[in-house]
Structure 1
Amino acid sequence: MAQFLDVICINRYFGWYSDTGHSELITYQMIKEVTAWHEKHLKPVVVTEYGAGALAGLHTDPPVVWTEDYQVVLMEQNFKAFDQLREMGYLIGEMIWNFADFATPQEYFRPTGCMKGVFTRERQPKFAAHFLRRRYAQLT
């Protein structure tokens, strides 16, 4: 008989679809959300989607939405939350959305498709790809 690990999976886009551009809220919101799910069900949580869109080559200082810089800031704030939640024993996994940009139907909220990839459609790395690689190399 097969055994299954009972987990909760959530997709959250703090700083992107909610509180857009407010990266200072991401760590707090992610910790609050995962903690609530864990405490309600007493099960480990996997964040199966998080991320921000970025147009390759677009940069600003300070970082704003749609820039590669903001995509990295959003990841950095999520990583702070993930590390704290992992230490608490609440989080057992994280998966960014998405590997590479991809085509979508024309929509006013997507400039040229889904731009949440850490790589472009041509598989060229954005700043986020390098940042994510360092993150995954540090996880044990």
Structure 2
Amino acid sequence: MLRPRDAATRERQPLTELWRFRLAVVIGLDGADTYPALHATSPAPWTEEYWTAHLEMNHRVSGCIDAVVDEQVWHVADVATTPGVMRVGGDEKGVVTRDRLPRGAAWTLRRRWRGER
């Protein structure tokens, strides 16, 4: 198992090189495919907890690197796509469902934008 310090170092590694060159960075928060209303006791693929953990990791990274000047949510809402094994029921990476119901990710972003913990 990785120690927390190792995980934190691994999280920041992709942006460390850009920071060295003093480049401004905008992070596109891509999302994690989530089956609506699927929950688990720990973050597991396809659960809302996994999507929330993904966002929180992005926030930890962007919050500790001065070069990050902005974050952009890529998928605001779920969209319909052609059926396939990689997208069960459509593209489910949205912060809200196709019915515009908020997911855990929406509340995580709200806390982030309001400066809450």
Shorter-chain TM band:
0.7 to 0.9
Which of 12, 16, 25 is equivalent to 1:35? 16
What RMSD, in angstroms, separates the aligned Cα atoms of the two structures? 2.1
Which of 71, 85, 88 is equivalent to 1:108? 85
Secondary structure in structure 1 of the residue aligned to 2:64: helix
Q: Report the Cα distance in structure 2 between the residues aligned to 1:56 and 1:94, rounded to whole angstroms.
A: 24
Which of 23, 43, 57 is equivalent to 1:63? 43
Secondary structure in structure 2 of the residue aligned to 1:93: strand
Query: Deviation of residue 62 (structure 1)?
Result: 1.7
Give the TM-score normalised by structure 1.
Answer: 0.71
Identity %: 31
- The AA in structure 2 aligned to 1:126 is R
- Tell me the alpha carbon deviations over residues 10-67 of structure 1, each in whole angstroms, 9 at most, x when there is no partner: xxxxxxxxxxxxxx88754442111212324x31111123321211110011220110
Alignment of 1:1-140 (within 5 A): 27-40=8-21, 42-85=22-65, 89-138=66-115
Contact 2:29 2:58 in 1 (8 A): no
Contact 1:35 1:90 in 2 (8 A): no
Contact 2:48 2:105 in 1 (8 A): yes
Contact 2:29 2:55 in 1 (8 A): no
Give the TM-score normalised by structure 2.
Answer: 0.83
Structure 1: which 5+ residue stretches go unaligned?
1-23
Q: Which has the higher contact order (CA 8 A, sep 6+)?
A: 2
Aligned residue pairs: how many?
A: 112
Secondary structure in structure 2 of the residue aligned to 1:95: strand
Displaced runs of 4 or more, over 3 A: 24-30
Q: Report the Cα distance in structure 1 between the residues aligned to 2:17 and 2:107, rounded to whole angstroms.
A: 31
